[in-house]
Amino acid sequence: MSGKPREAEMQSSATVTPLPSRLAANAAETHAIARNPGMALDLGFLESMRSINRSALERRVGTLTKRRSIKADNQAAWLLRSISLMDLTTLNSNDTDERVRRLCAKALNPLRRDLVEALGLGEVVIRPAAVCVYHPFVATAVEAVKGSGIHVAAVSTAFPHGLAPLSTRLAEIEASVADGADEIDVVIPRGLVFGARWQELYDEIKQMRAACGEAHLKVILGTGDLATLRNVTLASMVAMMAGADFIKTSTGKESVNATLPVGLAMVRAIRAYHEQTGYLIGFKPAGGISTAKVSLDWLILMKEELGRPWLEPELFRFGASSLLTDIERQLEHHVSGRYSANHRHAMA
């Protein structure tokens, strides 16, 4: 990525060439990465991950966000990539079938037609990777995005706290899969982490993975509740050992949600697991990611720490609701030189 503005190019043409893909986003209804089968709970390996240097992580995050500057056409291309990595989400107490259909309509057409034309996208289709909803709306979402290649994710297991009986949580997963969800976002009981009850946590997640069947399992750690980066790292590793396809920061309901130091601790756990097993694990930050600038910070983190494969929806997602609107505003500024009001962009 170039760190210098390309003003001459921006003035001569607003056409953007999107980042090249290993696989076109949303081109197929199947996930392309070999699934993580998990491994036996290895407490020795877990013990080796206990030493976390918070100040070093924070310094690394500082260098990532200050050293890299993405401008002009490059910035627009990276923002288009951010759209293709979204789990467009509605998790409100007043959700309805109609609200979910509106979310899906926005997922199918995330950018205004005039912006698509001004950016010179031609036949390139830019859409979020998934829509994420509560269980009662899974069937509605499945019908609304049918044939588009957009995945349907269901939050499950007594979201957001995970404190229902395990049998109830497993039944909820099975019901969402039966309704057509092909991704399940589950939450862990945070008390198991505080008590270092790793075997119990491992066993629960393993049963959740079995209940998912062919649907992919995204394990939400609730990092804002876990208090320390050591807890975050160890919980991440146990989730991956138990067969998680993705590990995810937050429900979006905690007082502190996705932060870059927490994200760095989690992606380094992903790297350690890959070095140990050879399997690629996805990462999903969620909660508080609402501006285009913040989305670029996360993309830089993934590119620098894990490499190019983690800029694909098979291995990286944003949990987002309001992010898309700000990205649209930034793209309109790119082509027109003016910022638009939020109401000029259809809301999800």
> Structure tokens of 173?
């997963």
Contact status, residue 292 vs residue 79, Cβ threshold 8 Å: yes
> Is residue 106 among the annotated active site residues?
no
The one catalytic residue in 87, 284, 303, 326 is 284
The one catalytic residue in 185, 225, 245, 326 is 185
Q: Do you find a cis peptide bond into 160, omega within 30 degrees of 0?
A: yes
Cα radius of gyration rounded to whole Å, the chain? 20
Contact status, residue 253 vs residue 225, Cβ threshold 8 Å: no
The one catalytic residue in 87, 248, 303, 326 is 248
Contact status, residue 195 vs residue 10, Cβ threshold 8 Å: no
> Is residue 87 among the annotated active site residues?
no
C-alpha to C-alpha distance for 54 and 265, rounded to whole angstroms: 9
Half-sphere exposure in the Cβ direction for 282 (13 Å, CA): 28
Where are the alpha helices (H) located in 189-291, listed in sequence order? 190-194, 198-212, 229-241, 260-277
DSSP helix/strand/coil, 218: strand
Catalytic residues: 185, 248, 284
